[in-house]
Each structure stands twice: as structure tokens, then as C-alpha cells.
Amino acid sequence: MRIGIDLGGTKIEIAALDEADGAVLARERIATPRGDYDATIAAIRDLVAGMEARLGRGGTVGIGVPGAISPASGLVKNANSTWLIGRPFDRDLEVALGRPVRLANDANCFALSEAVDGSAAGAAIMFGVILGTGVGGGIVVNGRVLTGANAISGEWGHNPLPWPEDTERPGPACYCGRHGCIETFLSGPGLAADHQRATGTAMSAEDVVAAAAGGDAAAEATMRRYEDRLARALAHLVNILDPEVIVLGGGLSGLPRLYEAVPRLWGRYIFSDHVATRLLSPVHGDAGGVRGAAWLWPPERNDRR
């Protein structure tokens, strides 16, 4: 069997997939021991041991993390789970588990899951988008995850918002040290902050969405700004990558209005007379990351390493 682990900032999820058909045999979630590197290693070790004991067999282990292993140093970089940064996470896990592991960015895992047997199955080029606490992405071409020379392929959240209006310059400060990153506008906290800047009212992203659905004019205006910004950001990506499919993931991917509004809007920004790219919701929902991590160990004929 293939074991996948999705290491998030608040939870760690493990799933075991059947070797033959990819069916989920078992899943479990625990709270992430935030800020504690050694406890994170131990938690993953214990989850794997428990899953294997529960199912009575061993498995390969793939792990999705909110960051990447630097090709230059071999250490974790760009992780919003900051206690991982600067650590040889993959090597320490191999010692703890007593076997090789495969590790990838969590957005890449989500994209791989949807490319293997999800909304983008069969697509030659797909882009998997994460719209949640942060904004990330993963690129899969002909069934292979693109990692890139710097292990940052798909990190569109830290590009500037394209075609900014005057009111969007220089843009909100980002934790990366710059202003106006796509993440500062399109993440859940970014949506909430935009609403507060426009109205003076502090609301969560979920509450803004609910208020807009209930007919609140200010919340509806916030959602329309969000949709136009998402259309611009994705159009910029289509102009570069020209994918057949874009699949949305993360907490905001569950908004049906995005799949209608964004394709209606992005044509004005995409450098083409016709846009064939499809914007789709995920098949596997919040299981995409953990399933994609497990698929980091596919049969040799589909090896994506």
C-alpha cells in the first residue's frame, strides 16, 4: 500500500491507499504539534506505525509539506510552518521511519492527486491552485509534477497581483517582505482584510461569503473584487503556462460562484481570441493533499520522482 501524509499548520492527516486502484483504505487526523520540530517528527512516526499496525501491512511513505526542500542546502525553505525551516526534514523522517520517504510541497501533492484520478485526469498540462490560509499552486505536465530548478515551481502566490488598479498599489504587506503579493489579496485572510479596509468592519472570510449570499451589498462588493483579482491572477498564469485545466483547492474552492464568475472575467486578460482552459472544482476535496502525497510512490511505470 501507499501511505500519504499531509502536514499542515494545524493538523496532520494520514491516509493509506490501495496499491492497485488507489482506494483509500483508512484515514486519520491529529493536531499538529505547532512550533515543536521533534514532536512533529515523532507524531508522523507514530501515525505511520499505527496505520501499518491497523491494516496489518507496510507501505511506502510520501509526505506533503507547506514548503520545499532547497536544492542548494537540502534544508526546508519557504514553509509557513516556520519550525521546519532550516531543518533536514526528509532525512530526519527517514531515520525515524527506517525507510526512504518522498517529500513534496503540499500544493504539488494536491495537483498530483487531481491529475492522477481527479478533475484534471488526462490533461496534458494542469495547474492546481490552493486558496486557503495561504495561496499556492502546483503544476503537473503529462502526469509528472514539475518541481523546478529552485523547487518553487507553481509558487504564484508570491508574484505581484497583475494589472493592479491604483487603489491596489503598493498592496498589503506580505510576510515574504514584499507588498502586493497575490496571496495578500486571494487568501482567506486576504479576503477578510480587504473587506475590513473597504468597510471598516472586521469579519472572517467565511462571514463575508455568508453575508454576500444573504444580500449584504458591501460583502457582495468584496466578493466581486475578489473574483476579478482571481481572474487577473489566473489569466496571467494562463498566458505563461496555457494549461488545459485549472483546479481550485483550499477552503475558498468550495464557492460555486467562482467557477461561473472567473471564466466570465478572465477572457479580457488572457492573450487569446478564445479560452479553452477549464476552471474546475476538485474531485477529492480536502483529501487531495494526502492522496497526492501517497501518489509520490506510484508504480514504476508511472514514476514521477
Regarding whether 254 and 180 lie in a shared domain, the answer is yes
pLDDT at 299: 59
Regarding whether 184 and 163 lie in a shared domain, the answer is yes
Segment 136-158 shows an average pLDDT of 94
| 303, pLDDT greater than 80 | no
Whole-Å CA distances, 21 to 40, 100, 240: 30, 23, 34
Is 114 part of any domain?
Answer: no
pLDDT, tens digit (0-9, with 9 covering 90-100), for 113-122: 999 999 999 9
Is 116 part of any domain?
Answer: no
Question: What distance in Å separates the CA atoms of residue 152 and residue 68, rounded to the nearest whole number?
Answer: 7
Segment 250-266 shows an average pLDDT of 96
Query: Is 103:69 a contact under the CB 8 Å cutoff?
Result: yes
Q: Angle 303-127-190 (CA atoms, 0-180°, nearest 5)?
A: 130
What is the DSSP pairing of strand 245-249 with strand 144-145? unpaired
Regarding whether 126 and 105 lie in a shared domain, the answer is no
| Number of domains observed in the structure of the chain | 2
Is 115 part of any domain?
Answer: no
Regarding whether 263 and 208 lie in a shared domain, the answer is yes
Q: What is the mean pLDDT of the chain?
A: 94
Segment 243-269 shows an average pLDDT of 96
pLDDT at 301: 40
Q: Which domain holds residue 196?
A: 121-282
CATH code for position 34: 3.30.420.40
Is 217 part of any domain?
Answer: yes
pLDDT at 227: 98
